[in-house]
Amino acid sequence: MIGKLTFIFTFIFLIGFTGCRISYSFSGASLSPEMKTISVQFFPNQAPLFQPTLSTVFTEALKNRMTSQTSLELITSSADLDFQGEITNYSTTPMAIQGNETAGLNRLTIAVRVKFTNQKNPKLNFDKTFSQFSDYESTKMLSSVEEDLIQQIVEKLTEDVFNAALTNW
């Protein structure tokens, strides 16, 4: 009798367990099972100070983050999730003014306007600007540290966009 009850409970548990659909991701993304595709449009540089490679660097970094941290297929248009926008700011400003009225640090700031469209759940759509910065010593020329700074800032920006769109923060 106990053997039959154990079998019945085990059978019910297994049926119930296999019938559940759980969506889990190590990246923290919360995607419904209907989500299959994603598209990232080219982000043109509309900032007053123009940096020639920034558009490509940002666009490719956002594509890479989305495909490496989700199981979505990257397509060119009509995707379940779509990202488009523009780079709106690329600027340097002096920071940490010292006693001799010179800057000890300079700050490179990049801002990106992102329009996110979720075809499956339009309540999650947004159109907002993300901004990040990185400081560098004023004794260095921007051109000598620019590539590394851009990589650091773009990494932070793509993380912010990912979190806003896919982790519902």
Task: Evaluate if residue 140 carries a pLDDT over 50.
Answer: yes
Mean pLDDT confidence for 112-140 = 95
Q: How much of the chain exceeds pLDDT 70, in percent?
A: 76
What's residue 16's pLDDT? 44
What three-state secondary structure class fits 86?
A: strand
Q: What is the mean pLDDT of residues 55-83?
A: 95
pTM: 0.79
Q: For residue 44, report the phi and psi dihedrals to the nearest 5 degrees.
A: -70, 155
pLDDT at 163: 95
Q: What pairs with residue 126 in β-bridges?
A: 116
Cα–Cα distance for residue pair 102/138, rounded to 1 Å = 9
How much is the pLDDT for 9?
47
Which burial class, exposed, middle or buried, applies to 159 when counting CB atoms under 10 A from its CB (0-12, 13-18, 19+)? middle
Give the pLDDT band of residue 52 (cuts 50, 70, 90): very high
Q: Which domains does the chain have, with CATH numbers?
A: 31-166 (3.30.160.150)
* Residue 61 tokens, joined: 């970094």
Sorting pLDDT into bands at 50, 70 and 90, what band is 67? very high
Which residue do the tokens 């600027």 mark? 91
Q: Taking all residues of the chain, what is their mean pLDDT, rounded to a whole number?
A: 84
